[in-house]
Every structure is written in C-alpha cells, then in structure tokens.
Structure 1
Amino acid sequence: MTATSGEEDVLANLALPLTAATITVRVIKSFIYRTEKGLVLHNVNLETTTVGDLKERVRQALSESPGWKAYRKVVLDTLKLYTKAHGAKSQNLIINLENDEWILNNDSETLASLGFENETEVSFFNRMEYDAFKLNPETKWD
C-alpha cells in the first residue's frame, strides 16, 4: 500500500517518521482456537518506546476499553514480530511460528533498535501457551 504525497508515491512504512508511527498489536487469547484481536496504536515514538513500554501500553488499553473484556484475564507476557509493512506474512493465521529470534526478550530495547517502522505488526501472547502450541500446532477451529 502506498500513500500519495504530491507527485511522489511513499511506501506505508516510510509515510510516518519513527517518532509518530502506527503499529498493530495482534493480542492472542488462544492459539488452538485462533482467537486474536488487533489493537492499532497511533503516534508511537519508536525511538524512545521500549519493549516493556509497549507491553504496558497494550495492557493499559485492554484494561480501559470495553471491547477487550474477554482478554483481561489472559496472561500476556511476550511480544514477537509478526511482519513489517510490505513483508511476507506467515502461513499460520494466528502467529508466525518460524523465526523465534523475532521474540522480543529484552524489555529495555527500543522498538527502533529492533527494526520497527511504521506499519509494523507484532503479536502479544502468553509464552507458555505459545511453546505448547509450537510442539503441537493443531487448531480446533477447523
């Protein structure tokens, strides 16, 4: 997707500066039932926001918004890069099971230092449930 600025076409990941990016957080309630909901965050300063800050911002949004009531009791402790703008998406509809190096383990790293840019999509989930799902990635949705 491109945004038009005058006569130039600007790629979505370059349309906003790192100091005012839009990112989508895929909040995963259940891997086996493919239950997830997207939370779009606007004006995220990727240069100063850390992994820990992002986790807290999402938890705060879930606690304040009525549409997230079913997600409030889920233990959310892990973030993992899902895709960047114009990047390839996983074949798995709920989470990218490949590339465990994309799991964001260091809460003090800034999002920009991890390669985040405008239109980055990240998954937020329970690590124990993720590890169990990786061992047996069957769903009850089908």
Structure 2
Amino acid sequence: MIVTIRLIRNFEYRTIRTVPIRDVDTQQTVDQFIARLLQEVKSVKGIPPPFKTHPYDTLKISHQAGSFKANDIVINLEGDETLILPGNKTLEECGVVSETEMSFFNLAEYQKYKLNPEKKW
C-alpha cells in the first residue's frame, strides 16, 4: 500500500513537503508508523534539512481517494476527533487505505495555529 505524507513544518507560512511512503502495513499501530516516518524523513533526498529535524508527532487524515479535499491548502481544521490518528490503534482501524493522504505535524504548533489560522508570506 502507498500513502502520501504531507510534512507540515510551518502552518502560517505554508511550508509543506509531500513524500510518498511505499509498502505501508495497515496492521502496524499509528505509533509504529510515526517511528518509521521519523526515520524515513531523515533519509529522503530532496527534502531540506529543516524538514528532517522538525519535531513531528501527529498524523491526521487529509484526504482519501474518492473523497473531497479541504479548502484550506495547509490543513483541514475540522474533524480532529475522527481524523487525528490515535497512537494505540492500527492504521486499518483508523480507516487508512491505499492512496490516503495524511498530514504529519507538531500537535502544539497545530493547536496554536487553530486558535488563529492566519497565513503569512
């Protein structure tokens, strides 16, 4: 299975990079997948160093094949209860299927952005 990960380094300035992840096992837990992502992000060529060292800790489903996309180009601010993936559940239990697009970000930064979703240049 292949999923697309949107690395969000900064919400206000829209610093985002997209990385396809192959051979995803839906039976692994979200925490195990996050550990894998942290290792893979460090080794992906073409990603600037600030993206490789950012303190990512949260995954949120952004888009699934055949469904709608959010209007906000950074992240969908709605549906946190169901779209933020809990670490103790498997990817399958969270509804992750092939071609799912997920945002990978720092939760504290997201919560701060959500209070005042201002975009800067």
TM-score band w.r.t. shorter chain: over 0.9
Aligned-pair RMSD on alpha carbons? 1.1
Letter aligned with residue 121 of structure 1: E
Aligned residues: 119
* Residue of structure 1 in register with 2:102 after alignment: 122
After TM superposition, the score normalised by the length of structure 1 is 0.79
- Structure 1 residue 33 corresponds to structure 2 residue 16: no
Return 5+ residue gaps in structure 2 as ranges. Answer: none
More strand by share: 1
TM-score of the two chains, using structure 2 as the length reference: 0.92
- The corresponding residue for 2:44 is 65
Indicate which of 79, 85, 89 corresponds to 2:69.
89
Q: Deviations over 1:76-95 (max 9, x none)?
A: 01111111101111110011
Alignment partner for residue 103 of structure 1, among 63, 67, 84?
84
Higher RCO structure, 1 or 2 (CA under 8 Å, sep 6+): 2
Instruction: Please list every run of 5 or more consecutive structure 1 residues that lacks an aligned counterpart in the other structure.
Output: 1-20
Give identity over the alignment, percent.
39
Matched, 1:54 2:21: no
| Deviant stretches of 4+, over 2 Å | 65-68
- Alignment-derived partner of residue 16 in structure 1: none
Larger Cα-atom Rg: 1
